[in-house]
A and B are shown apart, each in its own frame.
Chain A
Amino acid sequence: NAGVTQTPKFQVLKTGQSMTLQCAQDMNHEYMSWYRQDPGMGLRLIHYSVGAGITDQGEVPNGYNVSRSTTEDFPLRLLSAAPSQTSVYFCASSYGRGPGDEQFFGPGTRLTVL
């Protein structure tokens, strides 16, 4: 199993550009989520999905869109990049959202918006 994979690993954008961060998992997990990690801020939830076709907003959803057409994939779209979106983005998946469910994280995408 590859686990959770994310592409690209690094990306530099100019203000106003759009892009999609890819996330895929091969563990047949129903729950997937996107976090951003900024220095001194910990991990903050952007969007999450409890299954194919179902998504919901997290703590910091503005400027990001998601969709979940398959169980395996959960892409994150930046519609018009802003310098405030410079961050490290992590995708995570878990079997469910019960107390014992472990979240498996991808290796992250390091995004810089100029």
Chain B
Amino acid sequence: TQLLEQSPQFLSIQEGENLTVYCNSSSVFSSLQWYRQEPGEGPVLLVTVVTGGEVKKLKRLTFQFGDARKDSSLHITAAQPGDTGLYLCAGEAGSEKLVFGKGTKLTVNP
């Protein structure tokens, strides 16, 4: 069973601060996705990374896939209250199933 460990579990910061969220596994994944979920709603895809060492940027969000394709990180620059939500990573290991981490709950205070 592939497991994805996310850290930290909770993160509360002030508007304007930078933060990094981690997603780690002992398994190799063919791709890894990051989702954001707001209260009362389903997760929404932010990005998919496929190649080891890949870096993708989405405005103030930077996503990186580890060289060995076992880990990933999400860095947010100058966080805003609108970034508040649950951030989930999900990995695909070629079994037609996505494995989700438990999520990082981010609160950005104005």
Chain A contacts to B: CB under 8 angstroms = 4, 31, 33, 35, 40-45, 48, 50, 56, 58-59, 90, 92, 97, 99-100, 102-108
B100 touches A44 (CB 8 A): yes
Contacts of A105 in B (CB 8 A): 42-44
Complex alpha-carbon distance, A100 and B33, angstroms: 9
The CA-CA distance from A97 to B45 in the complex, in Å, is: 14
Question: Interface size for chain B: under 10, 10 to 19, 20 to 34, or 35 or more residues?
Answer: 20 to 34
Q: Give the residues from 1 to 22 in chain B that come closer than 8 angstroms, CB to CB, to chain A.
A: 1, 9
Q: Is the CB of A100 within 8 A of B31?
A: yes
Which residues of B are interface residues toward A (Cβ below 8 A)? 1, 9, 30-31, 33, 40-45, 48, 50, 88, 90, 92, 96-98, 100-103
Given A102-B45, A102-B48, A107-B41 in contact, is the A45-B31 Cβ separation under 8 Å?
A: no
CA–CA, A99 and B30, complex, Å: 7
By beta carbon, the residue of chain A nearest B45 is A102
Residues of B within 8 A of A59 (CB): 1, 97
CA distance A92 to B45 in the complex (A): 12
User: Please, how many angstroms separate the alpha-carbon atoms of A99 and B44 in the complex?
Assistant: 16
7 further A-B contacts with Cβ under 8 Å, apart from A45-B98, A107-B42, are A59-B1, A99-B92, A102-B33, A103-B43, A103-B45, A105-B43, A108-B41
Instruction: Chain B residues near A58: list those with CB within 8 A.
Output: 97
Main secondary structure of the interface of B (DSSP, over half): loop
Contacts A90-B42, A100-B31; A48 near B102 (Cβ below 8 A)? no
Closest B-chain residue to A101, C-beta based?
Answer: B48
> Which A residues are in CB contact (< 8 Å) with B33?
102-103
Known: A105-B42, A106-B42. A43 touches B100 (CB 8 A): yes
- Cβ A108 vs Cβ B102 within 8 A: no
- Given contacts A102-B45, A105-B43, are A41 and B97 in contact (CB under 8 A)? no
Bound complex: CA A100 to CA B50 (Å): 8
- Shortest distance from the beta carbon of B8 to any chain A beta carbon, whole Å: 13
With A99-B50, A99-B92, A100-B50 already in contact, the answer to whether A42 and B100 are too (CB < 8 A) is yes
